[in-house]
Amino acid sequence: MAQLQGSGVRIIYATENVFNVKSPLTDYQVLPFVSESLRLNRNLISSKTIRSDRNPQAPVRGNVEVSGDIAFELAPQHGRILRHSLGVLVSGVANTYEYTIGPLPAGMTIEKQFVGIGGGYEYFQYTGCRINSLKMNFKSEGMIECSVSVMGANETLSATAADSSPEDVGHDPFDGFQATITDVSAVSLGNITELDFTVENNLDGSSYVIDGTGKRKALPAGSAKVTGTLKALFEDVTLYNKAINHTESSIKVVLQRGTGAGTAGNEKLTITISEVLFHPQAPVVGGPQGVVVELPFEAYYRDNADVSAIKMVLLAAGTYC
C-alpha cells in the first residue's frame, strides 16, 4: 500500500455540548490548515526496583497527554477558531460575528481523516479539545500566518467518520495587502512593518484523577493574557516615548476585502486591542540597513467599552461560529 500524503488529509471539527463528549453529527465543518501536530502521548514510567540480576523491571503506563498545534492561514472561514480562542460569541445582525474574552465553549471534537491507510481505522478522533493559545502574525505581504495550541482529553481510532458529509465552508485567506493597522481612533501608529500577538487561555492540564483511565477530566481556563510585538520604521520617538512614559495606547487591525459589508467577496475582520502598554526597548543598529523600532506590548482590560482586552468582529456570509 502506498504511503499516505499530507495533501490527502482532511481535518473536521465541531463544538461539543459537554466536555469530552463527541460533538453532534450536524455540527462538523472542514478546517482549512497548513500543518498540525495534534496527537496522543503517553509516557512509560520506569521502575526503581533493584533486582539481583541488574535487568530492568517492565515500565508502567503514564497519563494520557493529548496536545499539539494547528497552523493555518487566516480566512473568514476560521470564525469558529476565533470563538474557541476568545470564548464569547455576541449575537448580532446577519453575517456579523463578535468575539470577546469570556468563558470558553465546553470543548471541541477534532477529527483527522487518514483515508486510504490500511487496518480499517482511518479516523483519529480527539475529544475534549480546547484552545490554549492563539497566535497571529501580520506582515506587509503574504498570508496572515496563525496557529493555535490545542489541549485535549482523549484520542479514539475509528473505522467511521464522525460526520461523512461535514460542511465545507471553503477557504479564501486574507493577505497583508488587505490590512491596515492604527490605534482605535484610526490615528497612525507609524509605518508598521510587522505585528504579532498571542492570546493565552492558560488552561490547567493537570486535572487527572485516579479512575484507571489516565485521561483528563477537565481543562479549566485561567486568566487570559494578550501579548505581542509591534515593529515600525524608526522615524521618530513617538512610539518609544509611549513606552518609556508608560502611556496607554491601543491597536486596531482591519482586514478588509471589497466593501467589507460582509457579503460574499466583501468580508472584513476587525481586531481591537483597546488598552495597551508598550515595553520600553530602544532601537538598536544591527548594520548599515534601515533601523526598526521593536516594541513588545501587553494588553489588559480596565475600563474600555468592549469589556475585553481584545475583541474581534467578523463580517462574513456563512456559518462561522
Q: What is the pLDDT of residues 267-310, one digit of tens each?
A: 999 999 999 999 999 888 988 888 899 999 999 999 999 999 99
DSSP readout, 51-103?
-TT-PPPPPEEEEEEEEEEEEEE--GGGHHHHHHHHEEEEP-STTEEEEEESP
Average pLDDT for the chain: 93
Instruction: Give me the phi and psi of 146, to 5 degrees please.
Output: -135, 160
Give the torsion through C-alpha atoms of 38, 115, 15, 36, to 10 deg.
20
Q: Is 56 among the domain residues?
A: no
Number of separate domains in the chain: 1
Whether 244 shows a pLDDT value over 80: the answer reads yes
Q: What 3-state class would DSSP assign to 15?
A: strand
Domain housing 266: 6-40+63-315
Q: Tell me whether residue 52 is in a domain.
A: no
CA angle 15, 200, 299 (to 5 degrees): 125
Is residue 182, in this structure, part of any structural domain at all?
yes
Q: What is the CA radius of gyration of the chain?
A: 22
Q: Is residue 47 part of a domain?
A: no
pLDDT tens string 25-60: 778 999 999 999 999 999 999 999 998 898 999 999
So what's the pLDDT on residue 320?
66
How many other CB atoms are found less than 10 A from the CB of residue 115? Answer: 11
pLDDT category of residue 318 using cuts at 50, 70 and 90: confident
pLDDT at 109 > cutoff 90: yes
- The answer to whether 282 touches 294, Cβ cutoff 8 Å, is no
- Residue 45 within any structural domain of the chain: no
**Strand partners for 16:** 107
- For 98, other C-beta atoms within 10 Å of its C-beta total 20
Q: Would you state the pLDDT for residue 119?
A: 67
Percent of the chain predicted with pLDDT > 70 = 97
* Structural domain contains residue 1: no
What per-residue confidence (pLDDT) applies to 1?
59
Write out the DSSP string of 281-320: ------SSS--EEEEEEEE--SS-TTSSS-EEEEE-SS--
Say if 58 falls within a structural domain.
no
Tens-place pLDDT, residues 115-168: 877 667 799 999 999 999 999 999 999 999 999 999 999 999 999 999 989 999
What is the rounded CA–CA span in Å between residue 295 and residue 195? 10
The mean pLDDT of 159-184, rounded to a whole number, is 94
Assigned C-alpha cell, 30: 472542514
Query: What is d(CA 21, CA 18) in angstroms, rounded to the nearest whole number?
Result: 6
pLDDT-derived band of residue 92, with 50, 70 and 90 as boundaries? Answer: low
pLDDT at 32: 94
Confidence (pLDDT) at 259: 96
CA–CA gap between residue 248 and residue 308 (Å, rounded): 15
Tell whether the model's pLDDT for residue 208 goes beyond 70. Answer: yes
The CB-based long-range contact list for 42-50 (8 Å cut-off, 24+ gap) reads 42/214
For residue 287, being part of any structural domain is answered with yes
SS3 of residue 111 by DSSP:
strand
- Give just the sign of the alpha carbon dihedral 197, 204, 25, 71: positive
pTM of the model: 0.94
Residues 308-315 have a mean pLDDT of: 97
Confidence of residue 24 (pLDDT cuts 50, 70, 90): confident
